[in-house]
Structure 1
Amino acid sequence: MESTRITAHWLRVLRIKRVFRSIQRVYYPLLAAVSVPVNLMTIAILSRGKCGLSTCVTRYLVAMAAADLMLVILDLMLRHIPIVYWQEFSFVQSFPVCKVHAALLFAATDCSVWFTVTFTFDRFVSICCLDFKIKYCTERTAAMVLWTVAALSCCKNVFWYFMLTGRYLLTNLPWFCGVAGSVRTSRVWAAVEFSHYILTPGIPFVLILLFNAFSVRHIVAASRARWRLRGQGRGACGQTTRDPEMENRRKSIILLLVISGNFILLWSLFIIYAVCYRISTLGLVTVDVNIFVEQIGFMLQLLSCCTNTGIYAVTQTKYRAEVKRAVKYPLDAIVRFVSR
């Protein structure tokens, strides 16, 4: 009776895996086809500096888009698509470059996550620390912070090169390279891996929530005070007057909260699965993580690589205008060419 129940359970798991594999065979190529041009367009539009954003903010948003583009290439196109099309890509297992790929991928992941943190901190300083804002919220400081984060991310992830093997597994695991059995079950490996997930994205989750909480509290308090000083926002005839400062604050906080919330939401399932999987591997506690959590976690994490463009389009009027101009330009060029 017990063996029958176990067999039924594993058959159900296999059916779920087949369903998700079928979905992913369409989802991942489609996501790649959208993410690459979308991130390239975002980088090009923001770099022109015509979206009404400060040069400091533009630096952070361009860096985030560039990191997302690297993740699309290293994670989605060179990792997950070969996994779901493993029969067609089985030849990659003969290439001993997986540990180099892993080190670059995890470095790009750290950059993507920590660029979001630095952007959140920059907005926190801009909103809550007016005296420090003049010195910190500059294009030069933004460039220095971003290059420092990128350098530290590369240094931090060098250890993957020495802990992994060069052989691809082509299986959906938090890591995707071969690992010696003695290494996988060692406490050193566990400590390194837990540290990796604590630093990315554990601590960033906490920092983003704290910075956003302080920023929102400050904006709400300042808005109430400004509202009272303006006579509850009404003119001499009782008409509501337009307050550009309040509108700018509202747009800034909407952009900040949506980007941060999107990041936390789309990364949560992946980090839950990765930590639970590691605990089970060590045999410390038996944690049964549903296959849905694993597969949806990977899919949502990769989706986060192309959602920021949609966020900009929804929250930034000038960005939408630049997107329309970028889309219309080749069409107008074709029309002019045909009409000659």
Structure 2
Amino acid sequence: MPKFQIRFQPRILYASELQVSAYVFDNAPLYLKESGAASRFLTAEPSTMTSSAANLLTIVILSRGKCDLSKGISIYLITMALADLLVVVFCIILASLFSRLIPASFLFYTAVCSTNAVLSYATIDCSVWLTIAFTFDRFVAICCHNLKVTYCTTKTATLVIGIVCALNVLRNVPFYFKFRPYGFFNGIPWGCATRLEFFSFPGWVTFFWIHHLLNPLIPYVLIVVLNALTVRHIVVANRARRELKYSANGSQRMDPEMAQRRKSIVLLFVVSGSFILLWFTKVAVFLLMEISNRHAYPSYNHPVILADQTGTMLFYLGTCTNTVVYALTQRKFREELKRMPSKKDLFKSLARINVYNIYHHALVNLLRHLLKYNQIGYT
């Protein structure tokens, strides 16, 4: 039996045994597909403060509206930064740091750690699918001029964000029932151990495959395809415009519109490019395990496990890269970054970010579309 496999039944736990982690995995042939605890421990300390500060700074700067970005783009970027911040909170701070620093806290109650698992999965999915939504919005803006007027608006952005977040939270609710208590302490269910039927019951296996198709396989393919189509459109459009300018003027000169267009798409390519690079290792390992049909390995020193943990670590480190991306590609963002706000200005900027209004408008727009679809008047 591999060393990492554990068999147990729920029992009474003593205080000395509460050092056990809240996430204990049973005898699981699919163990490596859900690995990530070790990489969370590796990245917890160095990435938590960096990612939290970077995302908060990004939210503050973008909320000021001084980066020469449209309101729709700013809403996407702010929500993406907020999702990355929540990934740090639920996946690293609550699931890793607190479990090490406060081993006997309420976070180890079965209901609490099951809820935290659902929120961890949901925030990761929201982070991924918001990146897809932003990429699609930019694809429409660049390649679909007829649809651009109606789709690339603030109203549509809030609606899309609300739908993406709501669906990702709802589809991860079944993960709450994935766990059973590790034991009981003072009569309270304690810890989260994966149910054995999660790896054998057809319904759970189907849910597991759907989960991995929706994150990261389908998003990875979508973002590659959308960027490929965008690049193709830009190359064709630039070639046609160059030929037209050359035939009109008889000489090739610097085209200000092409230069401006080039600047506008750099942000898209860098954001989606970082997503592709940071998720590549994780996707490659997942496909390797499925193609080879080998999911269990004898130790953490196996190259496949090391690659899997490295992929997970890269994803968590990726939660703080957007600030660097914006700083490298957006001149206005760099200027705002140099004007480091005081504590007073920081809290004022955070107060102006009314996340409630974003999701409220998204819900209202969603209901409006549903009522319109059902041919019911909306006032």
Q: Normalised by the size of structure 1, how large is the TM-score?
A: 0.78
Equivalent position of 1:50 in the other structure: 66
Query: Would you say 1:37 and 2:53 are equivalent positions?
Result: yes
The answer to whether the 8 Å contact 2:59/2:78 transfers is yes
Query: Would you say 1:59 and 2:75 are equivalent positions?
Result: yes
- Residue 259 of structure 1 aligns with an amino acid whose one-letter code is V
- Residue 87 of structure 2 aligns with an amino acid whose one-letter code is L
Task: Choose which of 260, 273, 280 in structure 2 pairs with 1:268.
Answer: 280
5 Å matches for 1:1-340?
27-82=43-98, 85=100, 88-92=101-105, 94-96=108-110, 97-165=112-180, 177-231=192-246, 240-241=253-254, 243-273=255-285, 285=294, 288=297, 290-326=304-340
- Residue 178 of structure 2 aligns with an amino acid whose one-letter code is M
Give unmatched runs, 5+ long, in structure 2.
4-35, 184-190, 298-302, 344-379
Equivalent position of 2:353 in the other structure: none
SS in 2 for 1:319: helix
The answer to whether the 8 Å contact 2:278/2:318 transfers is yes
Structure 1 pair 278–76 and aligned structure 2 pair: CA distance change class (3 A): farther
Structure 1 pair 276–196 and aligned structure 2 pair: CA distance change class (3 A): farther
- Residue 88 of structure 2 aligns with an amino acid whose one-letter code is V
Structure 1 pair 307–286 and aligned structure 2 pair: CA distance change class (3 A): closer
Aligned counterparts of 1:44 and 1:113: Cα–Cα separation in 2: 21
Alpha-carbon deviation of 1:82?
Answer: 5.0
Aligned counterparts of 2:43 and 2:262: Cα–Cα separation in 1: 35
Alpha-carbon deviation of 1:81?
Answer: 3.3
SS in 1 for 2:67: coil
- Residue 207 of structure 1 aligns with an amino acid whose one-letter code is L
Aligned counterparts of 1:187 and 1:41: Cα–Cα separation in 2: 45
Alpha-carbon deviation of 1:274?
Answer: 5.2
The answer to whether the 8 Å contact 1:164/1:179 transfers is yes
Aligned counterparts of 2:39 and 2:208: Cα–Cα separation in 1: 29
SS in 2 for 1:178: strand
Equivalent position of 1:338 in the other structure: none
Alpha-carbon deviation of 1:261?
Answer: 1.6
- Residue 315 of structure 2 aligns with an amino acid whose one-letter code is Q
Alpha-carbon deviation of 1:185?
Answer: 3.0
The answer to whether the 8 Å contact 2:285/2:308 transfers is yes
Alpha-carbon deviation of 1:26?
Answer: 6.5
Structure 1 pair 131–25 and aligned structure 2 pair: CA distance change class (3 A): closer
Aligned counterparts of 1:195 and 1:25: Cα–Cα separation in 2: 27
Structure 1 pair 70–262 and aligned structure 2 pair: CA distance change class (3 A): same
Deviations, residues 283-330 of structure 1 (Å, cap 9, x unaligned): x54665623112212210101101011000001111000100126x57
Structure 1 pair 207–26 and aligned structure 2 pair: CA distance change class (3 A): closer
Q: Percent of aligned positions with the same letter in both sequences?
A: 41
Structure 1 pair 104–23 and aligned structure 2 pair: CA distance change class (3 A): closer
Root-mean-square deviation over aligned CA pairs: 3.2
Alpha-carbon deviation of 1:31?
Answer: 0.8
Deviations, residues 261-296 of structure 1 (Å, cap 9, x unaligned): 21122123234445666899xxx5466562311221
Alpha-carbon deviation of 1:190?
Answer: 2.0
Alpha-carbon deviation of 1:24?
Answer: 7.1
Q: Name the count of aligned residue pairs.
A: 298
Give unmatched runs, 5+ long, in structure 1.
1-5, 8-19, 169-175, 331-340
SS in 2 for 1:162: helix
Structure 1 pair 319–252 and aligned structure 2 pair: CA distance change class (3 A): same
Alpha-carbon deviation of 1:154?
Answer: 1.1
SS in 2 for 1:215: helix
Aligned counterparts of 1:124 and 1:94: Cα–Cα separation in 2: 44
The answer to whether the 8 Å contact 1:98/1:167 transfers is no
Deviations, residues 120-142 of structure 1 (Å, cap 9, x unaligned): 10011001110110000001100
Alpha-carbon deviation of 1:160?
Answer: 0.7
Q: If each structure's helix is expressed as a fraction of its own residues, which one has the higher value?
A: 1
Equivalent position of 1:13 in the other structure: none
- Residue 330 of structure 2 aligns with an amino acid whose one-letter code is Q
Structure 1 pair 272–186 and aligned structure 2 pair: CA distance change class (3 A): farther
Structure 1 pair 181–30 and aligned structure 2 pair: CA distance change class (3 A): same
Deviations, residues 5-48 of structure 1 (Å, cap 9, x unaligned): x99xxxxxxxxxxxx99997674212111111110110111111
Aligned counterparts of 2:280 and 2:148: Cα–Cα separation in 1: 31
Equivalent position of 1:3 in the other structure: none
SS in 2 for 1:290: helix
SS in 2 for 1:305: helix
- Residue 183 of structure 1 aligns with an amino acid whose one-letter code is F
